[in-house]
C-alpha cells in the first residue's frame, strides 16, 4: 500500500470554498483516475492558524506502479487545475509513504 500525501496550507479567504471543492470535486476526481482506491482529508491540529488552516489530503494506491502511473499521466493536469482555481492562496508539499505493517 502506498499513501500519496499532499499537505496544504491555505488562506482563510478560500477555506470554505476550497474545502467544498476538495470534498466534492478534486478528491473524487483523483480516485476516478483509477490510480487510487481511497482518500481522506485531515486537518492538522496544534499548528499556527493565524493565516489559515493546514490540511493533509491522503490518497491510497494499491501499488507503487499505480502511484507512478498517476505521476506520469495525471499529476501535472491535476496540479494545474488547483493553481488555476486558487492561485497563490495556498502552498502545498507532497510526500509518498509506504505502510510498514
Q: What is the mean pLDDT of residues 29-52?
A: 96
Give the count of alpha carbons within 13 A of 86, CB side only.
26
Per-residue pLDDT of 67-101, as tens digits, reads: 999 999 999 999 999 999 999 999 999 999 998 87
Model confidence, pTM: 0.93
Q: What is the mean pLDDT of residues 56-62?
A: 97
Q: Which three cell numbers stand for residue 16?
A: 470554505
Helix or strand (DSSP H, E) at 50: none
Buried b (16+ CB within 10 A) or exposed e, 21-48: bbeeebbeebeebebbeebeeeeeeeee
Per-residue pLDDT of 17-32, as tens digits, reads: 999 999 999 999 999 9
Residue 62 has pLDDT above 90, yes or no: yes
Amino acid at each position: 500500500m502506498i499513501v500519496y500525501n499532499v499537505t496544504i496550507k491555505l488562506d482563510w479567504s478560500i477555506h470554505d470554498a476550497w474545502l467544498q471543492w476538495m470534498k466534492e470535486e478534486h478528491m473524487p476526481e483523483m480516485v476516478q483516475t483509477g490510480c487510487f482506491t481511497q482518500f481522506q482529508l485531515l486537518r492538522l491540529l496544534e499548528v499556527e492558524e493565524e493565516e489559515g488552516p493546514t490540511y493533509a489530503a491522503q490518497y491510497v494506491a494499491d501499488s507503487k506502479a499505480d502511484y507512478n502511473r498517476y505521476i506520469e499521466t495525471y499529476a501535472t493536469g491535476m496540479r494545474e487545475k488547483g493553481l488555476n482555481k486558487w492561485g497563490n492562496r495556498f502552498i502545498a508539499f507532497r510526500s509518498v509513504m509506504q505502510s510498514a505493517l
